[in-house]
Amino acid sequence: MSTQFAEETIEKSVNFAPVCRSEELEPGWGEALLLDGAQVALFRTEANSFYAASHHCPTTGAKVMARGILGGTMVDGRPVETVACPLHKEVYRLDNGTCLNADSPALPIHELVEADGQLWLQQTR
Ligand code: FES
């Protein structure tokens, strides 16, 4: 599939917006993004997986999640990639947002797709 075809297909079929090239994200780190008024945290793990989540900590609403600490753990015998809030260290799954170490609301996760080195974020509005 050509890059142009992939981009046109993703953009038209499911309302995704191009956000950045995947190589622009540093492995093991996050970056904050403002898209249509929504603050989003983008993450690239050390294993080169890409995730998007709300930049707001679900526990306090603090806009800090892009500065969270990436890591991983085992859940039901399977490896799960995680982000810990940098303030009080509550740990959230990056695949579904579930909080693993407290009775806290889930971290909202956004659909993020990589195609030919381009990251596409599902628009929230
Ligand atoms: S501010 Fe995020 S866990 Fe407290």
18-42 pLDDT, tens digit each: 999 999 999 999 999 999 899 999 9
72 falls in which pLDDT band (50, 70, 90)? very high
**If you average pLDDT over residues 69-74, what whole number do you get?**
98
**For all residues of the chain together, what is the average pLDDT?**
91
Ligand 1, atom 4, residue with closest C-alpha: 88
Query: What CATH number did the domain enclosing 30 receive?
Result: 2.102.10.10
Mean pLDDT of 115-119: 96
The atom number, within ligand 1, closest to the CA of 57 reads 2
Number of domains in the chain: 1
φ and ψ of 5, to 5 deg: -65, -45
Q: What is the pTM assigned to this prediction?
A: 0.89
pLDDT range class, residue 1, cuts 50, 70, 90: very low
User: What are residue 115's phi and psi, to 5 degrees?
Assistant: -140, 120
Identify which of 55, 60, 67 to mutate to test ligand 1's pocket (most ligand atoms within 8 A of the CB).
60
pLDDT at residue 5, as a whole number: 56
> Which domain covers residue 39, as residue numbers?
3-122
